Structures are given as structure tokens and as C-alpha cells.
Structure 1
Amino acid sequence: MDYSTRYEQRKKRRLNRLLNVAIGVVAILIIYFAIQLFFSSGSEEAIADHDQEEQQEEHNEENTEQLIEENTDIDSAQDETSKNEIENEELREEDEEEDEEEGFNDEVRPGDWQPIGTVQSEPFELESQHFSKDHVNWKEMTHAIQYATGLDDDITIWRIENGGNPQSAVGTVSGRDNKHTPYRVRIEWVPERGWKPVEVIQLSENPYLR
């Protein structure tokens, strides 16, 4: 009877030890797989984060390059605009200098003039002798220029020359008060009616006093 009881007790102890060992093994396996799962998940997240960071960096680099290109285009456009403005300003200055050299100040004297009459015969064409101060044509041209400018007999005639065709002339004249800013008068021949003033411009300086 005692023998049977001791056997049963030893059997239970062995069974308990086996169960404890099995539980320990299971616990170790659980811990092992839990650790593996944790580190595996962490690695995947780290890889995913790293990939996302790389994509973000690439995106930022692309945006930066695009901004640089856009700024370069803007700078180029601004440079081109500035260059055009400078060129236009230089052209304006050149035009102003040319106008100054020619002596014009764009002051055109308005007038509605009529032919002054003539004693010369037709057909009329300017010839070299017509510019002689003793010729009747010279006197008629002077009369037409005085009529257009309002100058009296104190008129100073700096030059009268052909106006570009046989029936036109241009005279540069002044009075006692405007010898430094003379008038340039264009006159044209009207058949049987004589010289007619068509344009009077006051110059900003006298080209014959330089």
C-alpha cells in the first residue's frame, strides 16, 4: 500500500517537472517569437521611414531645381527687359543729340500763308542765278520769308538754298533779337502766283555761329 502511494507521488512529480519544462519551453518560444516580431516590425518601419525620407529629399531637390530654373528665367527676362530699356534710352538720347546737333527745338510756328505774287515768267525753275542778291527772285524769296516770320528790314539772311527740287527753297534768317535762335523757313513756288511759305521752324541754336 505504501509502495503504491510513493509510486504515484513520484509519477506526479515527474509529470509536474515535464509540465514545468514544457511551460518553460513554450514561454521561451513565445518570448523569442515576440522579440523577432518586434524587431522585424521595427526594421520594416525604419526601412519605410528611410524610403519616405529619400522620396521627400528627392521631391525637395526637384522643387529646388525648379525654383532655381524659374528664378533664372525671371532674372533672364528682367535682364532682357533692362537691356531693352537701356537700348531704348540710348536711342532716345541719340535722337535728342541729333536734334540738338541739327538745332531743332520742335517749335513750329503755325501759319496760313498765301503766295506773295511775282513778276517772273513761267515756266519757273530755280537756277543758280536765282540765288544772286541782285536777282529779282532773291528779292521775292526774301519777301516771302519776311512775310512768314514777321521780320522787318533788319532781317539777317544766313543762308537761302535749294529745298530739294527746282520749285522749293529753304532760308535760315533771324532778326536783331534772335540771331542765336534763327528761323528756318521753307517756301514753295506756286505757278503764276509766286513764292508761298509752307513751314517755319525756330532753331534752338544758330548753326552758322558755331
Structure 2
Amino acid sequence: MKDDFENQNEGLRSGKLAKRRKTNLVLNSLIAIVLLLIIFVSVNIFFGDVESKGTNEDTAAESKTEESSKENAGSNPSEDTEAKEDSTEAEEETDSENKEEEDSEPVVTEGGSSPDVKKTIENPDWEPVGTSQSGEHVAVYDQNAVDWQEMIKAISYATGIDSNNMTVWFLGNNGGPNSAAGTISEKGGSVKYRVAIEWVDGKGWKPVKVEELK
């Protein structure tokens, strides 16, 4: 009987130990799972912060680059000043050219010095055509003379008719030693022009007026 009691006690102890081992195993497993979850969450949080920080830094860098570009593009006083000066100079040159064009417009009036004149053309911007002659000037009405060729050059300048395409009907004195007049027309043309020119010392013949004849 005593042996049966002892055997029964040993069985109870063995059962309790087995149950305790099972409980400990379950608890240890749960603890391991909890630890793994904690590690997993921590890793995700850490790498999430790193990625977020990297993105924020990239965004900040891009923003800074854009601001720097805007500053470089829009705030260079020296370049702006030079650009304004260039623009002002260009405008002044354009105005000057326009003024010159306006000044060079010929003045046209009806009639002229004689009844056979249809209209008279004068241009205050006409200049002497230059000369290769030196010393005291004497007008020479000879087709082979340098002076004659320079007179034709002045007439061509005033009328716009090329000397090679010009018929000279008359070229002679116009009332003074340094004053001449020529009547010409374009080859094959019916319109005749009488051109008055005068000599400017050292500068050559200068057109005075062009009369279109009837």
C-alpha cells in the first residue's frame, strides 16, 4: 500500500513538471514573438526616419538650388545695367539713323528757274563728291578732263543716274567760275534733268539743285 501511494505522488509530480515545462515553453515562445515584433517595428521606424530624412534633405537641396538659380537669373545688377546701356545705345543709334533718313528727304517744289521746269528738287544733305585735283581750281569743260569727270560724278550723285547710263545734252558754266550746270537724261529715257553744281575748294563739286524739265 505504501508503494502505491509513493507511485501516485511521483506521477503527480511528473505531471506537474510536464505541465510547467509546457507553460514555460509557451511563455518563452510568446516572449520570442514579442521580441521579434519589437525588433521588426523598430527597424521599420528607423529606416523610415532615414528615408524621410533623406527625402527632406533632397527636397531642401532642390529648393535651395532653385532659389540660387532664381537669384543668379534675376539679381545681377552689373549685367542688368550693361543690358540697359546697350538697349539705350541701340535706341539712340536707331533714332539717329531715323533722323538722318528724315533729314536726307529731298525738298520738292513745283516749277523752277524757268518756264520749262516741271519741278525742282533740293537736298540740304548733299555733300561734295571729292576731288583728286589740287591747287587753284579752274573749271574745264572738256570731256577728257578730270574736272569734267568729277562734274559728271556730282550730277550722277544728285540724280541717281549712273554715269555709264547717262546722256549729257549740255554741261557748261552757270554764271560763275566755280558754278556749272548740266542737262542730262537716262539713256533711252524721255525725262531730262538740269543739275546745278558748285565747286568747294579741296572737296570737289557739290550738287545744289536738280530741275526736272517738261
TM-score bucket (shorter structure): 0.5 to 0.7
Partner of residue 41, structure 2: 36
Q: Is the counterpart of residue 16 in structure 1 residue 21 in structure 2?
A: yes
- The answer for the alignment partner of 1:182 in structure 2 is 196
Q: Structure 1, unaligned stretches of length 5 or more?
A: 115-143, 161-170, 187-196
For residues 26-60 of structure 1, the C-alpha deviation after alignment (integer angstroms, 9 at most, x for no partner) is 22331331233133224313421331242143134
Matching of residues 1-210 of structure 1 within 5 Å: 1-66=6-71, 68-69=73-74, 81=86, 83-95=88-100, 97-98=102-103, 101-114=123-136, 146=139, 154-157=172-175, 173-177=179-183, 180-186=194-200, 198-203=202-207, 205-206=208-209
How many residue pairs get aligned? The number is 157
SS of the residue aligned with 2:134? coil
Mapped to 1, the partners of 2:171 and 2:45 lie a distance apart of 116
TM-score, normalization by structure 1? 0.52
SS where residue 102 of structure 1 aligns? coil
- Please report the RMSD computed on the Cα atoms of aligned residues, expressed in angstroms: 4.3
Separation in 1, partners of 2:88, 2:202: 42
C-alpha spacing 1:24/1:153, structure 2 compared with 1 (3 Å): closer
TM-fit CA distance, 1:145: 5.2
Residue 70 of structure 1: how far off its partner (Å): 7.5
Whether the aligned pair in 1 keeps the contact of 2:179 and 2:198 (CA below 8 Å) is yes
Mean Cα displacement is larger for which, 146-155 or 36-45?
Answer: 146-155
CA distance in 2, matches of 1:96, 1:172: 30
